[in-house]
Structure 1
Amino acid sequence: MAAEKATITEVPNVDSYEPTGKLEKEFGEGQDALDSSAQVLATTSYEYTESDAKAVRWKIDRRLMPVLLITGMLSAIDKIIISNAALYGLKKDLHLSSGQYSWVGSIVSFGNLVAEWPGAYCVHRYPLSKVMGIMVILWGVFACLTAAANNFSTLMALRFLLGFCEGPVFPGCEVYVVMFYKGKEQPLRIAIYLASIATLFIGPLSYGIGRSTGVGIETWKLLYITVGGVTLFWGIALFWLLPDNPATWKFLSEREKYIALDRVRENHTGVENKHIKWGQVREAFLDPKSWVLLCGQIMVCTFLGGLTNFAALIVNNLGFSPLQTVLLGMPTGCIQFFSSIALSYIGTIYPNTRCIVASLACLIPLAGTALIWKLPTSNKFGRLGVYYVIYLFWGSYTLSASLPAANTSGHSKKVTTYAMTFVGYTTGLIIGPQYFSKNFTHGYIALMCSAAAACVLFLLYALICIWQNKQKDKAVAAGKFDNIQHNLSADLLDLTDTQKRDFRYIY
């Protein structure tokens, strides 16, 4: 049996680096031009095999992915319990009208939206594990305090603050995936922490709390205190469970750190650089892909916004009791998880199919929404089955969420692009509940229009990638990059995707 080929990376010593070429002088002087991985890769050198690299990846998977999964799940739980709380008397106790309840659903996403840019700055500038831990602790506190709300205004304020604290979390999770995984490995990992298995946990919890007696507190308040308390303690645990970056993670040996960093060099996206580069920020805003994906995220996430806040009421409206409703919501988590993993797996093994698969997947909830709207009200089990099918939309979102990670280089540009796409996510969550502010018929029609628009936008994103790849090929053929000389590997320079000769976009 042939021996496995050893991988050796030779990089000039980082301490002797000087910006000798046009590229470095224009886009970053001295150490500011370097990605954080440069220090490890340029000062150490290890031989390793493909088996060694897979072993390191599996070690990272075992430790990092469960933490991101639970963090994402708690974020989803803190959003969807408003629906179960409404069944347990929140609307009645706080005297909320249908319009006010819609705004209670949307206000969390306004908090997310306001937090995006300060959150992106904190994720960029400060140790990532500390930012994540502090934000999770704070959102747990505000989830607990929601039990103290006694009117519409107080509830709105607390929900806004909860959303504000959640804002940096998903962009932070995406930064972790880019730091530790190759481009072809990213869709599946992003799908895992976005899998939204929250209903599998909130269903039994809500059912148990709903059957509790003699506790001396309203059921919906007990629900918030329980979930908020768990979130708070999880935030404290994140200080020890999450790393800041691969180079400083004590869970890895020095050799494993080297392998972890070297194996992701082929992404051409870098790992981390704490210096804010405003030219990269500007480039992110001028990139048409960012805006098309932002609009696509808005359209697909209106489903999430509408269903998250009205799921229990939709099922209850089909003719089921409150306790039946919270249990019947559990399968939606399985469907979302299956959709996320299955579509991401397809996008992983078949190159440049992510946009096509995401676009086709949007047609399923479009048809499902039409059926649940038009089926006779007497056919409640048929409508329930179609309601479950609608949740396949989540695979479109998780697959499209992997695109910024694969297609953006330069740390400042990456963080800005993640923030922009998350603005699309939060905007969709704001709009979705408003679809149902008048009646369910109005909401169903609006959801169908959103699904159709998302389908078109994802295909447009693919066309832009194809065009930009052709432009890059022409520039290389014309020798545009040949006059750039530097004495350090370009993969270790904190450069954007447009500045790297070998970077090509995935779609």
Structure 2
Amino acid sequence: MGEDGANDEVKLNHSEHIEVATEEIEQNDVRRRKQRNVDLKHVDEAARVLGEAKVDEGSIIVSPEDDRRILHRIDVAVLPAILLVYFLQQLDKSSISYTAVFNIVGETHLVGTQYSWLSSIVYVAQLVFQPLSSYAIVRLPVGKWVFFNILCWGIVVASSSAATNFAGLIAARFLLGIFEASIAPSFIAITQMWWRRREQTYRTAAWNSSNGVCGVFGSLVAFGVGHINNTHLKPYQSIFLFCGCITIATSPFVWFFLPDSPATANFLKGQDRVFAIERLRANNMGTETKVWKWNQFWETFRDPKSYLWFAMLFLAALPSGGIGAFGTLIIQGFGFDSFQSILFNMPYGALSIVAILGGAWLTNKIKLRFPVIVFLCCFPVAGCVALLKLGRGAEERGSLLAAYYILSVFGGIQPMLYAWAPLNACGHTKKVTTTAIFFVAQCVGNIVGPQVYQPSMAPRYTPGLIVDLICWSLLAVVACITAAYLALLNRRQEAKRKRLGKAALVVDTSILTIEDAAKAREYREDAKNSKEQKVTNDQAFLDLTDFENEDFVYVL
């Protein structure tokens, strides 16, 4: 072939390449126009509010001062109700472990694995009702749905005081699991619809730290109630009755103070509502929509990330379930009496708060999740090895307690996963389905966890500790694999943006501080006036999935 022919062929190939790229860009523009013109009921609630306010996409500029003011209002209005409900959930669910040191096994004539099943059955119920719970979160006002569930489980816990045998206890615990099934998934959905991705880490850590607060307060409650001399009620019955009545009495607070969404919250008026929604644009995750989308549901199961989240949540939940049910009994195995075991459980709760909040701070400091998870896994591994190696003599009680307290750092791992997984999925149905998947994993882990510990293993509980050690070690490995896969997805997103004529590399403003986000606003202003097509997050409220929205950035 001659030189002219070769040049013609190069020109032809170049021309074809341009035509393909142009066609792809045009198809993308058509897709956007169709999405923007779709019936408002099929897009995010945020798009409806902005549409009713006649606000053009990306035209609202939220100043740093307004940003801080709105964030403060949201924290004051939304966060207290979340903290209260999650604390009550943990208190009521953990009440079984407080009753353990007051001889609920002997008082109700439990045998074999029956005590272990009183912990596992809660998660069996949550597992069974998780699909219904996920559907309800999409279809119903989330604040009212949470109120209904908290009132019902409070009644169930108070009624548990009437149970005097395994049949009554297992039935009550199953009902407790049904009504608690929606709480954590609801709170993840609420966190996503109110806060930026950087802010979500701290807020998720805050409501998960209620676990530690429960460990301290619940131990004090059990210690105090256990000293009550009542001829009509056993100590375990008094604990159930006290915890249940607290929950029932505080449930109206949730009805009045937990809003359903930014689109309907009473504490936001006029421009403040628009600001609250606009500040979430950089998330590229929307707020909520009341339409269940089956294409997003099935996409979740085609997404490899879903199975990585499942694996990590299972590996984190299994040790949590075992130690949650047998923690006070493990301490009692060091040679302490019932009341001492309850009191020595309090520092464990306090240290888990430090681990949760410290992990959140470190995450936002380095803007990465997986190294923090690997770091947190090192502590329970060390504590577990120490408990396996140490004897159980009176002279080693101090060392045994220290090793047990080191285990408490694993309390910071699960909140990290709660925050990490939802940050990497968008599309309301996909987000809810992703949350359901890893809560199924959590349920399975919490079902299995108490079964690897048995009362007959006292005082060393060697098989359970070995299983926990394996789980924490594997969790660190899977976290690294997940991070590598997310990095690969980000490279694919960059290539997709490049094909569509956009800037390949973008700044993820959702993980920046308010001050840094102000600089990012300058980028958006520049993008409006530039001939080059840049990423302005104009698809943020179209209820697209992370596979469909090329502007989405995955968080490692």
Scaled by the length of structure 2, the TM-score of the pair is 0.84
* Mapping for residues 303-382 of structure 1, pairs under 5 Å: 303-351=319-367, 353-378=368-393, 379-382=396-399
- Is 1:202 the equivalent of 2:218? yes
Q: Partners in 2 of 1:87 and 1:117 — Cα distance? A: 35
CA 1:24–1:291 in structure 2 vs 1: closer, same or farther (change >3 Å)?
Answer: farther
CA 1:24–1:160 in structure 2 vs 1: closer, same or farther (change >3 Å)?
Answer: farther
Instruction: Answer yes or no: is the 8 Å Cα contact 1:79–1:308 preserved in 2.
Output: no
1:116-153: per-residue Cα shift (whole Å, max 9, x none)?
11001111101011110001111111111211212212
Q: Partners in 2 of 1:27 and 1:373 — Cα distance? A: 60
1:157-209: per-residue Cα shift (whole Å, max 9, x none)?
11111011100100111111111111111111101111111012111111111
Q: Partners in 2 of 1:21 and 1:85 — Cα distance? A: 63
Aligned to 1:302: 318
Instruction: Answer yes or no: is the 8 Å Cα contact 1:293–1:457 preserved in 2.
Output: no
* Mapping for residues 477-496 of structure 1, pairs under 5 Å: 477-479=498-500, 489-496=538-545
Q: Partners in 2 of 1:300 and 1:208 — Cα distance? A: 32
Q: Partners in 2 of 1:266 and 1:94 — Cα distance? A: 55
User: What one-letter code is carried by the residue in structure 2 that aligns with 1:149?
Assistant: A
Aligned to 1:22: 31
Q: Partners in 1 of 2:195 and 2:75 — Cα distance? A: 10
Q: Partners in 2 of 1:212 and 1:24 — Cα distance? A: 69
Structure 2 unmatched ranges of 5 or more: 1-27, 504-532
3-state DSSP of counterpart to 2:547: helix
Aligned to 1:113: 127
Aligned to 1:179: 193
- Is 1:395 the equivalent of 2:412? yes
User: What one-letter code is carried by the residue in structure 2 that aligns with 1:384?
Assistant: L
- Is 1:80 the equivalent of 2:94? yes
Q: Which has the larger Rg?
A: 2
1:203-229: per-residue Cα shift (whole Å, max 9, x none)?
111111111113521111010011011
Q: Partners in 2 of 1:27 and 1:228 — Cα distance? A: 48
RMSD across aligned positions (CA): 2.0
Instruction: Answer yes or no: is the 8 Å Cα contact 1:136–1:234 preserved in 2.
Output: no
User: What one-letter code is carried by the residue in structure 2 that aligns with 1:97?
Assistant: V
Q: Which moved more, 1:36-45 or 1:128-137?
A: 36-45
Alpha-carbon offset, residue 414 of structure 1 = 0.6
- Is 1:414 the equivalent of 2:431? yes
User: What one-letter code is carried by the residue in structure 2 that aligns with 1:21?
Assistant: V
Q: Partners in 2 of 1:298 and 1:152 — Cα distance? A: 27
Aligned to 1:461: 482
Aligned to 1:155: 169
Instruction: Answer yes or no: is the 8 Å Cα contact 1:135–1:235 preserved in 2.
Output: no
1:301-348: per-residue Cα shift (whole Å, max 9, x none)?
112101111011111111111011111111122111111111111112
Q: Partners in 2 of 1:472 and 1:47 — Cα distance? A: 26
Aligned to 1:264: 280
Aligned to 1:7: none
Aligned to 1:444: 465
3-state DSSP of counterpart to 2:336: coil
Q: Partners in 2 of 1:28 and 1:82 — Cα distance? A: 54
Q: Partners in 1 of 2:493 and 2:382 — Cα distance? A: 39
- Is 1:62 the equivalent of 2:76? yes
- Is 1:39 the equivalent of 2:9? no
Q: Partners in 2 of 1:213 and 1:160 — Cα distance? A: 29
Instruction: Answer yes or no: is the 8 Å Cα contact 1:318–1:380 preserved in 2.
Output: yes
Using the aligned pairs only, state the percent identity.
28
* Mapping for residues 176-255 of structure 1, pairs under 5 Å: 176-195=190-209, 196=211, 197-214=213-230, 216-255=232-271
Q: Partners in 1 of 2:472 and 2:417 — Cα distance? A: 14
Aligned to 1:429: 446
Q: Partners in 1 of 2:258 and 2:231 — Cα distance? A: 36
Instruction: Answer yes or no: is the 8 Å Cα contact 2:86–2:208 preserved in 1.
Output: yes
Alpha-carbon offset, residue 20 of structure 1 = 8.4
Alpha-carbon offset, residue 268 of structure 1 = 0.3
Alpha-carbon offset, residue 476 of structure 1 = 2.2
Instruction: Answer yes or no: is the 8 Å Cα contact 1:144–1:228 preserved in 2.
Output: yes
3-state DSSP of counterpart to 2:113: helix
Equivalent residues, number: 484
Alpha-carbon offset, residue 50 of structure 1 = 0.8
Q: Partners in 1 of 2:73 and 2:541 — Cα distance? A: 24
Instruction: Answer yes or no: is the 8 Å Cα contact 1:243–1:249 preserved in 2.
Output: yes
Scaled by the length of structure 1, the TM-score of the pair is 0.92
Instruction: Answer yes or no: is the 8 Å Cα contact 2:81–2:253 preserved in 1.
Output: no
Aligned to 1:8: none
Instruction: Answer yes or no: is the 8 Å Cα contact 1:24–1:33 preserved in 2.
Output: no
Q: Partners in 2 of 1:161 and 1:28 — Cα distance? A: 45
Instruction: Answer yes or no: is the 8 Å Cα contact 2:127–2:444 preserved in 1.
Output: yes
Aligned to 1:144: 158
Alpha-carbon offset, residue 32 of structure 1 = 3.7
Instruction: Answer yes or no: is the 8 Å Cα contact 2:35–2:542 preserved in 1.
Output: no
3-state DSSP of counterpart to 1:212: coil
Alpha-carbon offset, residue 236 of structure 1 = 2.8
Q: Partners in 1 of 2:170 and 2:33 — Cα distance? A: 49
Q: Partners in 2 of 1:224 and 1:41 — Cα distance? A: 47
1:254-303: per-residue Cα shift (whole Å, max 9, x none)?
22211111101110000011000000011111111111111101111112
